[in-house]
Structure 1
Amino acid sequence: MLPPLRAASVAWYVTGRFYTTADKATQDLGYFLHLQGITGDLFDGAPGEQTAHFTFRSAPFKARPVTNGDLSLGLDATGDFTLYLKRKPGASFDKPDSFSDGEPIATFRRVSVVMGATLSASQHAKQSELLSLNVFTAALIWSQEFEFRGARYDLKQLLPYGITQWGDASPTPLAAPAGFAQSFAFVGSAIALGK
């Protein structure tokens, strides 16, 4: 087994989408661009959701809105997200369930309220969003050993204390699949927590 990642070292890079229902329940899902400590290509072909071996999906959550001038803040309750190994890649943003149909390898729990902020600008009395970002810390609450490209791994060995992730989301809405009212793309960067 590999030693734990050093505190504050890069743990992963992800990209994905936020999906929001008509009643304002949100979930995020996506795939890993980089997962520190895992040897070998994380994709089966050119990088993208359809070729990704490692995906994730959160449980739905609702944010409490707070406004301060041109900042719109969202406070998300604590919640869980699970990482999956897809031995046969094939996820699609048009089919959110395809991100959680792999082998579950770990579950993280956000250990505090997530704060998201959206900066807006008024131009000729028309409001437009310029930037949306968030940050959260999550503890590893469950994991299991798995094999990938001939090596064995367990995220409790690599990330025993969890991660802190910063994310940036696009303000441009994307086509939402059936069952959802809105969808936005995002990217996230996480570092390993120390003891």
Structure 2
Amino acid sequence: MKRLPTILAAVSAAALVLTGQLPDGARLPAWSVAGHAVGRALVTPGGSIETFGYFTQIDGYPESVLFLGAPSEQNARFTFRSDRARIFSLANNGVFLLRLIPLAEESTVYRVYFDTSPDQDFNRPQTFSDSPVIATFAVRGGSLTVVPGALSTYTAVMDLTSSHPVVFGGVSVDARLLVDAIRVSLTGPALAEPREGNIASIPFAGAVYAVRK
């Protein structure tokens, strides 16, 4: 059973790279696709946002390491969750650029988790962040572009700030040996205003790219 919640709400999307079965000391080529992720963005009536989700593919990792059984949110071993951020909107003739401003720290932080016995549920955000943290990324620059009635696109560069190596199924995972930073590109439906005091949940999917400082 998963531990009880501590619900947050903050967007930046999602995504994170850790990759696997490369030779010791090898690094991903700059701008190569490091992985893919899906998840949810939660928007509160007060105008804050957070993201959480899981990795559907990570370069170098077999599916048997990524999932416990069939690929799904419930079976994903690698998950992530962001800090909460405040939304600041800039309008441009019907298109909106949303700046995401950290609420507490100097920058919004994404944490990557590894769960040997996963049991996540998108209706319970806390289940994506109740396992050991294996890496943290700080958002250096990120924004969300919204075309009302069409789509939302989130892009950001995130610096790796910590890595806690783990070994599972014969695969060693240490983000610091593989990337300095990542670029995240996520797409989903147009961001919606929360209704009647409820939290709006917006699905997203996208890719993570390796970046060199």
Q: Per the shorter chain, which TM-score range? A: 0.7 to 0.9
The aligned residue for residue 146 of structure 2 is 118
Alpha-carbon distance, 1:43 to partner: 1.0
SS in 2 for 1:156: helix
Q: Please give the alpha-carbon distance, in whole angstroms, between the structure 1 residues aligned to 2:198 and 2:111.
A: 20
SS in 1 for 2:85: coil
In structure 1, list runs of 5 or more residues that go unmatched. 121-128
Q: Of 36, 58, 70, which aligns to 2:59?
A: 36
Please give the TM-score of this superposition, normalised by the length of structure 1: 0.87
Asked if structure 2 preserves the Cα contact closer than 8 Å seen for 1:19 and 1:180, the reply is no
The aligned residue for residue 105 of structure 1 is 134
Aligned residue runs from structure 1 range 68-147, under 5 A: 68-77=92-101, 78-112=107-141, 114-120=142-148, 129-147=149-167
SS in 2 for 1:8: coil
Task: Flag as ranges the 4+ runs of structure 1 deviating above 4 A.
Answer: none
Amino acid aligned to 1:55: T
The aligned residue for residue 194 of structure 1 is 212
Asked if structure 2 preserves the Cα contact closer than 8 Å seen for 1:40 and 1:149, the reply is no
The aligned residue for residue 181 of structure 1 is 199
Relative to 1, partners in 2 of residues 1:119 and 1:172: Cα closer, same or farther, differing over 3 Å? closer
Superposed CA deviations along residues 61-106 of structure 1, whole A, max 9, x for unmatched, are 0121011111021011331010000110101111100000111100
Superposed CA deviations along residues 153-176 of structure 1, whole A, max 9, x for unmatched, are 2011111x1101111012386x99
The aligned residue for residue 46 of structure 1 is 70
Alpha-carbon distance, 1:180 to partner: 5.4
Identity of aligned residues (%): 29
Alpha-carbon distance, 1:146 to partner: 0.4
Please give the TM-score of this superposition, normalised by the length of structure 2: 0.80
Deviates more, 1:149-158 or 1:32-41: 32-41
Amino acid aligned to 1:119: V
**Paired residues, number:** 182
Asked if structure 1 preserves the Cα contact closer than 8 Å seen for 2:152 and 2:191, the reply is no
Backbone CA RMSD of aligned residues: 1.9
